[in-house]
Amino acid sequence: MKLLLARLALLVALLLAWHVLSTRGLISSFFFGEPLKVAAVLVEWFGSGMIFRHLGVTLLETALAFVSGTLLGVGSGLALGLSPRLAALLDPFIKAVNAMPRVVLAPIFATWFGLGIASKVALGVTLVFFVVFFNVYQGVKDVNPLLIANARMLGASPRQLIRHVYWPSATSWVFSSLHTAVGMAFVGAVVGEYLGSAQGVGYLILQAEGSFDINSVFAGIAILTVCALALDALVSQAERRLLTWRPGPARDAS
């Protein structure tokens, strides 16, 4: 509780400093906006209900990209982690694609899939996939060989090895990556909307930038930030429920 109050106090202090600096002319309100005007934009958007349609589209794109990228990353990570030869064969290709700035793929996806939801989801999947893939792949590779040998001596089948040995080892890595993957899914959705769309929060931000309305830009950023934090909290809740077997941090007895 004390930590939460301290965080809230810090947030209030930052907003207050922003307000004082912008209203006293110490920073340009044209470039940095004003917190009260940002709040007024948020009240207008939510009061009119206009934001819900755009936010729903962005959240749908984010959720589809997050789920699809996670499933593909988990499946590919397990497959290559269990097949060293296949991993060695595909290694240079995977590194080459991962090194590519995926944002430049947005125009290509827009050409392939149009300006609808599909192109934003495709971009988000490319961002989420590699975050999850490399963590799952590393989690499978880090399984203790002695543990695998003992399980095989006890008659464990390949399916049982995956279920009771490899998967528990990779699960911690999966959830570690999901916290980053949530943000990546949002980036894919918003960047896709920013480059070509007629709806979504990214579209609203683009329109606000075109009219030099910095307060609406910050309002859109605030909405995206709150949604990203909410999704990250859901991932943390799922992690606590599914990883109950994992020992918690040691506490100082003194």
In the chain, what are the domain boundaries? 35-242
- What pLDDT does 41 receive? 92
- What pLDDT does 182 receive? 86
d(CA 229, CA 168) in angstroms, rounded, equals 26
- What pLDDT does 251 receive? 47
Torsion angle of C-alpha atoms 44, 31, 106, 46, degrees rounded to 10: -10
d(CA 101, CA 130) in angstroms, rounded, equals 12
Structure tokens at 123: 């971009």
pTM of the model: 0.80
Where helices occur in the chain by DSSP H, the ranges are: 2-23, 29-32, 35-48, 50-82, 84-99, 106-113, 117-141, 145-153, 158-161, 167-195, 201-210, 214-242
- What pLDDT does 93 receive? 87
Mean pLDDT per 10-residue interval, the chain, length 254 residues: 85 90 84 89 90 90 91 87 84 85 82 86 90 85 72 74 73 79 86 81 86 90 89 82 57 45
The Cα angle at residue 58 between residues 39 and 177, in degrees rounded to 5:
105
d(CA 53, CA 236) in angstroms, rounded, equals 27
- pLDDT, tens digit, 9 for 90 and up, residues 85-117: 888 888 888 888 888 887 788 888 888 888 788
- Fold that domain 35-242 belongs to in CATH: MetI-like fold (1.10.3720)
